[in-house]
Amino acid sequence: MADSTPASDVPRYLTGDKAGLREFLAKYDVFLFDCDGVLWSGDHCFPGTVETLELLRKNGKQVVFVTNNSTKSRADYCKKLESLGIPSTVEEVFSSSYSSSIYISRILQLPENKRKVFVIGETGIEQELRSENVPFIGGTDPAYRRDVKPEDYKLIAAGDTSLLDPEVGVVLVGLDFHLNYLKLALAFHYVKRGAVFLATNIDSTLPNSGSLFPGAGSMSAPLIMMLGQEPTALGKPAQAMMDAIEGKFKFDRVRACMVGDRANTDIRFGREGKLGGTLGVLTGVSSKEDFVSGSVRPHAYLDKLSDLLGSEL
Amino acid sequence: MADSTPASDVPRYLTGDKAGLREFLAKYDVFLFDCDGVLWSGDHCFPGTVETLELLRKNGKQVVFVTNNSTKSRADYCKKLESLGIPSTVEEVFSSSYSSSIYISRILQLPENKRKVFVIGETGIEQELRSENVPFIGGTDPAYRRDVKPEDYKLIAAGDTSLLDPEVGVVLVGLDFHLNYLKLALAFHYVKRGAVFLATNIDSTLPNSGSLFPGAGSMSAPLIMMLGQEPTALGKPAQAMMDAIEGKFKFDRVRACMVGDRANTDIRFGREGKLGGTLGVLTGVSSKEDFVSGSVRPHAYLDKLSDLLGSEL
């Protein structure tokens, strides 16, 4: 799947190169940002992040914060950005829950009587589905937070409408801290009956407290095993997310640049999306070696994002 | 993995062949039975099942009922057999929960201070672990049937003993109708800290009410995705189950025969276990064509199990 970068294509190191930085920035109107590892790490905002974003905005660049976090709505995510001291607007945030909602409402062509979404996930997904006027069931509804009962099996097997809503045409799986057997059984039967199988993202783990916990991909894993079918993923590096971002911002891909710390997800996301630019930063997961000699390489890289300030624009 | 049966090895059709049946039966002292599809289907016992088992026992054959169902203990399973009119003893039942317990207590060499098992599963597993004096936590304990709390992340990340028992050396995953985020997070962290990752069985689905529901394999799926590691499976067709059966019954594999309706699981289980015989029956999943020209073929096959009565022994 991953487009390998041609071996001749050596990324340009731009830190301290004022002319190079100016030339690079002039090429793009839109900057898509991965957040953790680029703008901040954990709860710590990198020095110069705020000033760098200001510089871009002042020069007329569109800034988009791209996150796979599906538990938060865009409004929730803005609050998180603000708590780190980073000014932002809801319009600048693009989360996998929003991506999923856009994909369902604007890209999927669902029959009139199959427009309802069965949600495995938390409130962030629900808020974004509401913002796109997509009807849904499941999610945080307490009616689904219960044990499976002996009579459920017969009702589900028979397709009884008390448990299986005939209008459900999509199963959307995101991170759900209340995952249970009943939800998995229902999701399985909806897909078997023809519903489209979507995942907000397929990250198997979720970083928290310096360690890892079950991520959204782990919620889809039982269904993938049962169905023998992968979901369409709406988060990075899936191109469905890029399509959704383009659907919203209507930008020219040649004039857009993806900024990230991870070659295999962020840079790959931009490369596979045929963006004009990809910019790696060394404040996160990938190393200089990854960027310079890995199989997926950015067009340019910096020690840190705030090195863009060296353009003195 | 699957040993293909040599192309020259055509299974013998024994229905109505009195001499052939007598010759076949004389070769084996032990008969391992898959149950659903062989002895019964759903809640319906096949005619002649009881008489056939009687014939085998009368002729001094050891009968073993082999089931991947981990939610029931052997005693529970005997009750199920009795409810279908099939006499049985606990000693004749070999379930994946028992197989797992045997494997842990008699085959795994655990350090003195790492003998506790963290269980994802129901009472059947707990009963069998108790029968082998294996200490365990988790399972049906209500303390684990709760939502994950914000403070859990920090405690788990720090390896706090209030949530992570330092004596746990095994994670055993079976079918759990009360699977939740907390159990998955704990299981993940136990394995990351060095615990052995076991699964009672890896059937992705569970038949019920003529349909399919999440099976034990689906409980392991999130962990497999997060860990990038497969569990050692203790149910058919995994050979760890055959080893456990042999460990208990101390039989000569050459003098043992596996009887089943599914080429890919039952017959494969017997073939890979180098048993002297495998016997297919046409009352379940596999067809005559599967048995005669599939990649894994039985030594012999019958229209139905009760055709063994034609031996008139």
Dihedral sign for Cα atoms in the order B164, B168, B174, B177: negative
Collect all residues of chain B within an 8 Å Cβ-Cβ radius of residue A147. 177-178
Q: In this structure, are A301 and A269 located in the same domain?
A: yes
Strand B40-41 to B44-45 pairing: antiparallel
Helix (H) or strand (E) holding A182: helix A181-192
Beta carbons of A221 and B219 less than 8 Å apart: no
Q: How many residues does chain B have?
A: 313
**Whole-number pLDDT of residue B106:** 87
In total, the C-beta contacts within 8 angstroms joining chain A to chain B are 102
Global ipTM? 0.88
B200 closest CA partner among B170, B229, B177, B232: B232
Q: DSSP for A225-293?
A: HHHT-PPEE-STT-HHHHHHHHHHH---GGGEEEEES-IIIIIHHHHHTT-SEEEEESSSS--HHHHHH
When scoring A206, A218, A223 by the number of chain B Cβ atoms within 10 A, the one with the most, hence best to mutate, is A218
**Is residue B285 in a domain?**
yes
- Residue B34 labelled as part of a binding site: yes
**Whole-number pLDDT of residue A206:** 87
CA distances to A39, A125, A265, B43 from A132, rounded to whole Å, are: 28, 11, 27, 48
Instruction: Name which of A154, A217, A226 is nearest B214 (Cβ-Cβ).
Output: A226
| pLDDT higher than 50, residue A1 | no
A139 closest CA partner among A152, A121, A155, A124: A121
Confidence bin at A9 (pLDDT 50/70/90):
confident
Contact at 8 Å (CB) between B252 and B29?
A: yes
pLDDT in tens, A192-210: 999 999 999 998 988 888 8
Quick one: average pLDDT of A242-267? 93
Chain A: residues touching B (Cβ < 8 Å): 147-148, 153-154, 156-158, 176-181, 184-185, 188-189, 204-205, 208-215, 217-219, 221-226
What does pLDDT average to over chain A? Answer: 94
pLDDT in tens, A238-252: 999 999 899 889 999
**Is residue A297 in a domain?**
yes
Which of A172, A198, A233 terminates a domain? The answer is A233
- Residue B261 labelled as part of a binding site: yes
pLDDT in tens, B14-45: 999 999 999 999 999 999 999 989 999 877 89
Quick one: average pLDDT of A182-193? 98
**Is residue A246 in a domain?**
yes
CATH of the domain at A39: 3.40.50.1000
Which of A212, A233, A254 terminates a domain? The answer is A233
Shortest CA distance from A212: residue in chain B: B157
Which of B188, B204, B233 terminates a domain? The answer is B233
B277 closest CA partner among B304, B252, B250, B259: B259
pLDDT in tens, A10-47: 999 999 999 999 999 999 999 999 998 999 987 789 99
For chain B, list residues with pLDDT below 70: 1-4, 6-8
**Is residue B258 in a domain?**
yes
Beta carbons of A204 and B225 less than 8 Å apart: yes
Instruction: Name which of A147, A181, A205 is nearest B214 (Cβ-Cβ).
Output: A181
A136 closest CA partner among A149, A119, A114: A119
Q: In this structure, are B143 and B218 located in the same domain?
A: yes
Distance in angstroms (rounded) separating the CA atoms of residues A157 and A164: 10
Is B36 an annotated catalytic residue?
Answer: yes
Q: How many residues does chain A have?
A: 313
**Assign residue A312 a region: left if phi > 0, alpha if psi is -120 to 50, beta otherwise?**
left
**Residue-number span of the structural domain to which A117 is assigned:** 112-233
Q: In this structure, are B229 and B241 located in the same domain?
A: no
Collect all residues of chain B within an 8 Å Cβ-Cβ radius of residue A206. none
Instruction: Name which of B189, B209, B218 is nearest A184 (Cβ-Cβ).
Output: B218
Q: Show contacts of B137-146: CB within 8 Å, 24+ apart.
A: B137/B165, B137/B168, B138/B183, B138/B186, B140/B178, B144/B180, B144/B182, B144/B183, B144/B186, B145/B178, B145/B180, B146/B180, B146/B182
